[in-house]
Structure 1
C-alpha cells in the first residue's frame, strides 16, 4: 500500500498545482495529536491563490475528498490537518503484508535497468581483513536492495591482481618462500614474505629494483614468472571465496585489473584523438585543473599505465557489455579524488552517461592502535573476527539457552550477523574504530536484538493454530502501542526505496531497530497468547506482519534470522 503521506499528497494534488513529491515533502506531523496525524501548510500558496493561508486551508479542508484511510479533515490556522482512520489504516497495512508476504515492499521500478555494483575489491596475495568489511557488506546489501526493486544487478569483485607489488612478491617467494606452506595457508604465508621483503628493502634498495624487474618480466610474458603470478592469483581467490561464503556474499564477475591490460590502448588512443591527452614532464595526462582537481595521470613517463587507465578501460568495456543504467563503486572515502577524476575524464570524452557513475564512499575502519597496513603486518584478518564472533555467540547461547537445538548453526547465524550489522548500522561515510567488545556486544542496537525479537515472535506463532483462518477486527488494533507498530510497518516500502536512492543500507538497519523497539513496547503492554477471541486473533496477525518485515529487512542486509535463540 502507499505510505500515508503519499496517500494524503495524492488527495491534496487534486486541489493545488504542485508536484506530488513536493506536496509530500511539505507535509508535517503536528506537535500536538489534537491537531491530527498530518498537516499540510498553505503559506506558500498565498501568492498563487491571492488569499490568506488560513482561508486557503479552510477552503481546502471543505473541498478535499476523504480517502478511506482518513477519518477527518479540518483546518487550523494556515494548515490543513488530517486525522487517520486507525482501523482502516490497520486493515490496509496488515492485509497488504499478509497478501504480499516476503514480497512486501518489492517493486518493479528498476524493470529493464541494469545496475553494476563494484565492491569488495580485495588484492591477491594480501589478507581479506576487517578493513574490507564495509565495502563488502554495503555492496552486497545494495545488490540485494536493487534486485528487490526490480533491477538487473551484476556484482563485481574488481580484484587487485596487477602491478609492481607482484614482482616484489615473486622476488620474496624465490628468496624465502615455501610452496608447501603457501598451499596450506596461502594468504598468511604470502603476507609473511611480503612483509619481510619490505623490511629487508629498507636496508637494501636493490630489492625494489629486483621487484620492478620481476614485474616487467610478467608483463613481457616470462613463462616462469607468469606461472607464479597465476598461482598467487588462484590460491588467493580460492581463499577469498571461502571467507565470502561464510559472509553469504557472491559475485557475478571476478574480472580484475589484469583483465583490462589489453583493453587500455584503445582508450588511450581515444583520449589522444579527442585532444584530451597532454604531455607533462614526459608523462601523459588529462588536465583537470579547471575543475579544481589535479591532472589525471594516464601514462607514466616510462609508458607504464596506472589505476586510472585500467579503470577507464573497465568503464567503457562494462558499458559495451552490460549497457548499464548505473555503476556503483563501493570504495572507501580515501579514493574520492580518484573517482572524481576518472568520472570527469569520461564526461570530457563526451559520454553523457558519465553522471551515472557513482562513488558510494564508505568510512574507514581503524584499530584502537592505529591504521592497518599489510607492509607492516598490522592487520586484523576478517576470518579471525568472524570465528571469534561465532565463538562469543556460542558462549551467550550456552549461558542463556544451553538446551537449544542446533545451537552451532544458530551461533554461526548470530555471530556472522553481528559482524555484518556492525558495518551496516551507521551511515556509511562514518569512520569507525574496530573494538572487539563493541562489535561482539549482543545487547542494545545490534543484529542480535533484532534476531531475538524475531525468535520471540516465532515462539508466539508456534503456539497458535496456523490452519485456522483468523477473524481480524482491525479496530481492536487502534491502541497507541499497536498503532505505532502499524505505522512503522507502513513505512517499510519507502525505506527500501530511500536506501536505494541514497545508497544507504543503514536506513534499513535503523528502521529495523525502530520496528523491534516499537514491537517490544507493544508486546510488553499487550498480552498476545493470553488474550481471547478476536483480540487474540488481531494481535497474532500483527505479530505475523512484524515477523515478515523483520525477516525481509534483515535479508536485504544479508543477515539471517533464526527461529529459535
Structure 2
C-alpha cells in the first residue's frame, strides 16, 4: 500500500544521508502524462551532494527500490518514476481524508511560532476601494495557510490614519465642507472634498502649503484639527466594518499610523545614538548608498515625521509585542523600494531580526487597463462591487433554483466568494483586469464553479445517505484514479503555497480537483446500486472535504446547496 508519504519513506532509506524525508516529500511530483507514472522524484537536487550524474542516481535507485508494493518502477533520464497499486493506494488516501477531514493537509512546520501579517490597511476618510481588495484577501488567505501549517498569526490592519493627506482634508473641509452633508454621507462627501482639493491645487499651488500647515497643527495636538481627525477616523471605521463583515475577515489589531506617534522619538534617538542620521537639505536621512539604495528620509525640513519613521517604530513595537518569527507586509509592488530601505535601516540599527521582515508584493487591479486613483476620482468602491456581485448571484439563483432555502445567504456566499476567488486565482505579482461578469460564471475557472462542484458532491452524499466510516475499505475504479491522485497532493500544495506566499497555488488546485471530479461524475453513475456505490460515495465525500478546505484557505465559504 504505497502513497506519496510511503514513497518518500522508501527514498529516505536510499538518500537520507543527503536529504531528509520532508525535503524528499516536497520534491516528489505528479507527472503530467499518466504514462510517465503516478509519482516522480527528480534526482537533480542530489547530483551536487552525491557528485554523480542525476540519471545514474535515478537508475541505481530504480534498481534498489522494492517493487512488491509498486506496479512498476522505472528511471527516465534524471527522474525516478513509480506506478502505484491503485486499489491499495486509493484506500490509504481516502481513509486518511475520511479520518482527518478538515485536518487533512495540516502540518506542524510552524511549531507555534508567530507570524505578524500587515494587511488591508485602507486610508481613513476615503472609501474602501477595489484597490484595497488585494492586500485584504491575499493577507487573510496567507494567515489561514500559515495557521494550517502550525503557525500562530497576528492579523494587523495598519490603518492609514496619519500623514499630510489629513492636513489637506482638514484644509478642504474648512474651506468648502458642510457638517450636515458630511454627517449625512460621510465617506462620499469626504472623498469629494479630497478630490476637489487636488483639482483646486492644480490652479492654486498655495493650497498645498495650507494642507501641510494643518497637518503640522494636527501633529502638535491642535484641538480643532484633532477633533476633525477623530471624527473622520470613527466614521471611516464604521464604513470599513461593513466590508470586513461581508468578506468574513477580522483583525487582531487595527492600530494605525497615528498609534506610533509617541514611539517615533525612540527610533530617532537610536539612530542619533548610532550616528546614522545625516542632514540633507534641512531634512534628516539615513544614508544607504552601500546598499545601492537612495537615502531613507526620517524627518522633513519642517520637523514633520514620515511614513518610514512610523514603519520603523511599528516594526520595533511588533517585534517587542508579538515576538514574531516572521513579519509579513502584504503591500503593492510599488512599495518595494520602501521595504528595502526599511530592512536596510533596521540592519544598521543592529536589530538581528531585520531578515525576518518580508514584503509580499502584488500587482494592481485595473479598470479598462488603467490604474484607479482616489485623488482623480477614478475609483471603484468595493462595497458597490460586492453588493452588485451578490445581486447577480441572487438573480442566477432565482433563475436556476428558485426553491432554494435562504437565498440571500447563499447569494452573499457565492457573490463575495466570486470576487475573492477572481483575485486569488491570479499570481499575486500579476495585474488583474476587473470583470464582474467573468467572476460570476458557473463554468470555467471561477469561484462559483468550485462552489457548485462542492454543492453537487453534497447533494450526491445526501441522496446516497452516505455516512463516512473510518474503517471502511475504499478502492477505486479506473475512472476515479485521476481524482485520487489529485487528492493525494493537497498537503504538498498547501506547503508550496505557504513557502511561496502564493494563495493562487490553492485556487488553481481546487479548480483542477473540481474539473477532475466533474469529468468523473459525467462518465460515472455514482448512485447506481452495486459493489462500487459505497466506494464512489467515499471518493465523493473525500472530494467534498478537500474542496471545502481548499476554499476555506482562500477565505471563501462553500455552500452545501446552490
Same structural fold, with TM-score higher than 0.5 when normalized by the shorter chain? yes
* 1:385-436 residue CA offsets vs partner (Å, 9 max, x unmatched): 0111111111211221122222121111111111111110110000122233
Match of 1:515 among 513, 516, 520: 513
Equivalent in the alignment of 2:294: 294
Decide whether the 8 Å contact of 1:3 with 1:491 is kept in 2: no
Deviation at 1:471, TM superposition (A): 8.5
Decide whether the 8 Å contact of 2:158 with 2:256 is kept in 1: yes
Deviation at 1:88, TM superposition (A): 1.5
SS of match in other structure, 1:14: helix
Quickly say closer, same or farther: Cα 1:235–1:88, change in 2 above 3 A: same
Decide whether the 8 Å contact of 1:122 with 1:128 is kept in 2: yes
Decide whether the 8 Å contact of 1:186 with 1:239 is kept in 2: no
Q: Distance in 2 between matches of 1:557 and 1:146?
A: 12
Equivalent in the alignment of 2:364: 364
Match of 2:545 among 545, 548, 558: 548
Greater shift in the superposed pair: 465-474 or 503-512: 465-474
Q: Distance in 1 between matches of 2:324 and 2:44?
A: 43
* 1:267-306 residue CA offsets vs partner (Å, 9 max, x unmatched): 1111122222222222221111222211111112222211
Q: What pairs up with 1:372-451 in 2 under 5 angstroms?
A: 372-451=372-451
Q: Distance in 2 between matches of 1:55 and 1:432?
A: 45
Quickly say closer, same or farther: Cα 1:287–1:221, change in 2 above 3 A: same
Decide whether the 8 Å contact of 1:512 with 1:550 is kept in 2: yes
Structure 2 runs not aligned, ≥5 long: none
Structure 1 runs not aligned, ≥5 long: none
SS of match in other structure, 2:454: helix
Decide whether the 8 Å contact of 1:472 with 1:537 is kept in 2: no
* 1:32-75 residue CA offsets vs partner (Å, 9 max, x unmatched): 7566434556799899989998886665445434585x344456
Equivalent in the alignment of 1:487: 485
SS of match in other structure, 1:279: strand
Q: Distance in 2 between matches of 1:144 and 1:54?
A: 39
* 1:287-337 residue CA offsets vs partner (Å, 9 max, x unmatched): 112222111111122222111111001000111111111011000101011
Q: Distance in 1 between matches of 2:50 and 2:412?
A: 62
Deviation at 1:202, TM superposition (A): 2.4
Quickly say closer, same or farther: Cα 1:335–1:400, change in 2 above 3 A: same
Deviation at 1:105, TM superposition (A): 1.1
Quickly say closer, same or farther: Cα 1:268–1:223, change in 2 above 3 A: same
Equivalent in the alignment of 2:556: 559
Decide whether the 8 Å contact of 1:131 with 1:365 is kept in 2: yes
Decide whether the 8 Å contact of 2:426 with 2:432 is kept in 1: no
Q: Distance in 1 between matches of 2:52 and 2:154?
A: 54
Q: Distance in 2 between matches of 1:52 and 1:237?
A: 61
SS of match in other structure, 2:298: strand
- The alignment of Structure 1 onto Structure 2 pairs a total of residues equal to 560
* 1:238-267 residue CA offsets vs partner (Å, 9 max, x unmatched): 111111111111111111111111111111
SS of match in other structure, 2:316: helix
Equivalent in the alignment of 1:537: 534
Q: 1:37 aligned to 2:35?
A: no
Equivalent in the alignment of 2:9: 10
Decide whether the 8 Å contact of 1:424 with 1:506 is kept in 2: yes
Equivalent in the alignment of 1:285: 285
Q: Distance in 1 between matches of 2:200 and 2:435?
A: 32
Q: What pairs up with 1:112-151 in 2 under 5 angstroms?
A: 112-151=112-151
Q: Distance in 2 between matches of 1:59 and 1:220?
A: 74
TM-score normalised by structure 1 residue count: 0.92
Decide whether the 8 Å contact of 2:116 with 2:155 is kept in 1: yes
Equivalent in the alignment of 1:154: 154
Equivalent in the alignment of 1:506: 504
Deviation at 1:221, TM superposition (A): 1.4
Q: Distance in 2 between matches of 1:182 and 1:204?
A: 24
Equivalent in the alignment of 1:201: 201
SS of match in other structure, 2:155: strand
Quickly say closer, same or farther: Cα 1:2–1:559, change in 2 above 3 A: farther
SS of match in other structure, 2:532: helix
Decide whether the 8 Å contact of 1:471 with 1:537 is kept in 2: no
Decide whether the 8 Å contact of 2:127 with 2:187 is kept in 1: yes
SS of match in other structure, 1:202: helix
Quickly say closer, same or farther: Cα 1:211–1:459, change in 2 above 3 A: same
Q: Distance in 2 between matches of 1:30 and 1:512?
A: 18
* 1:319-358 residue CA offsets vs partner (Å, 9 max, x unmatched): 1111111011000101011111101111222222211100
Q: Distance in 2 between matches of 1:292 and 1:468?
A: 60
Deviation at 1:463, TM superposition (A): 0.9
Greater shift in the superposed pair: 123-132 or 196-205: 196-205
Q: Distance in 2 between matches of 1:414 and 1:526?
A: 27
Deviation at 1:478, TM superposition (A): 4.0
Q: Distance in 1 between matches of 2:197 and 2:360?
A: 34
* 1:165-205 residue CA offsets vs partner (Å, 9 max, x unmatched): 11221222223222233233221111011112222222233
Decide whether the 8 Å contact of 1:473 with 1:535 is kept in 2: no
